[in-house]
Amino acid sequence: MITFEGEHKNLKARIFSERPFAYLFIFIIYSFVISRFFEDKNLKYYAYFLELALLILCITLAINSFKSIINLVTIDENKIILEGEDFNAKWEKSISLKETKIEAKCKSTRGGLCSTTFYLKLKNGKNSYTINSFQTFSDEQILKIFNDFKTYKGEKIIIDEKLDIMRIQEKIEKCQ
């Protein structure tokens, strides 16, 4: 049994991260576009309706972006235990190792490799879980979680996954 513990980020830190503000920015831009498109007084009510619908959509997406976080990952021989918070309520989920798939992904920015955020996506049936969505785990931990998952499951690392692993290792070597 191997346990990986990430940094704890409370609800306030997650709310004031960059993602909810991105949805606010999108709302402001599209609201401006909608108001310019429906400048005619007869169509003004359609603009209000579209802006309200867009506001509800952006609020829903913003809330979904910061509501859940995973702080602790435990890999056992036949299960994975995920612990985290949903808003401020602690939760724990145990999923089968055999029925779970893992993908290493990254969020790239214009800052190059050093500002890239790597995260893991665990897919179990219809459910998916994102590890490191708020940069709570280090790149070394992400790499170790991925390798230990593959080892416990008995899977080989395919070429596409090796490319992702090499990018994580390159970031660890160049940007530490």
Instruction: Tell me: do 81 and 101 sit in the same domain.
Output: yes
Instruction: Tell me: do 127 and 47 sit in the same domain.
Output: no
Instruction: Tell me: do 50 and 85 sit in the same domain.
Output: no
Specify the higher pLDDT residue, 39 or 105: 105
Instruction: Tell me: do 54 and 106 sit in the same domain.
Output: no
Instruction: Tell me: do 104 and 49 sit in the same domain.
Output: no
Instruction: Tell me: do 128 and 148 sit in the same domain.
Output: yes
Taking the whole predicted model, whether its pTM rises above 0.85 is answered as no
Residue range 18-75, pLDDT digits in tens:
777 888 888 888 888 888 887 776 777 888 888 889 889 988 988 887 888 899 999 9
Instruction: Tell me: do 139 and 57 sit in the same domain.
Output: no
Q: Which of 29, 49, 65 is the last residue of a domain?
A: 65
CATH number at residue 128: 2.30.29
As a whole number of angstroms, the distance between CA 133 and CA 139 comes to 12
Instruction: Tell me: do 166 and 103 sit in the same domain.
Output: yes
Q: Could you write out the three-class secondary structure of 8-68?
A: CCCHHHHHCCHHHHHHHHHHHHHHHHHHHHCCCHHHHHHHHHHHHHHHHHHHHHHHHHHCE
Q: Which of 50, 65, 80 is the last residue of a domain?
A: 65
Q: Which of 47, 65, 83 is the last residue of a domain?
A: 65
Specify the higher pLDDT residue, 40 or 141: 141
Instruction: Tell me: do 110 and 169 sit in the same domain.
Output: yes
Instruction: Tell me: do 78 and 165 sit in the same domain.
Output: yes
As a whole number of angstroms, the distance between CA 123 and CA 126 comes to 7
10 Å Cβ neighbour count for 79?
16
* 107-128 average pLDDT score: 86
Structure tokens at 109: 């920015």
- What is the extent of the structural domain holding 47? 11-65
Locate tokens 């235990």: which residue? 81
Residue range 120-140, pLDDT digits in tens:
999 998 999 999 888 889 999
Instruction: Tell me: do 82 and 122 sit in the same domain.
Output: yes
Question: Binning pLDDT at 50, 70 and 90, where does residue 146 land?
Answer: very high
Q: What percent of the chain has pLDDT over 90?
A: 24
Of 84, 117, 119, 76, give the one whose Cα is nearest residue 100. Answer: 76
Q: What is the rounded (10 degree) CA torsion for 116, 122, 128, 132?
A: -30
Residue 111 has pLDDT above 80, yes or no: no
- Please tell me the total count of domains within the chain: 2
Instruction: Tell me: do 61 and 110 sit in the same domain.
Output: no
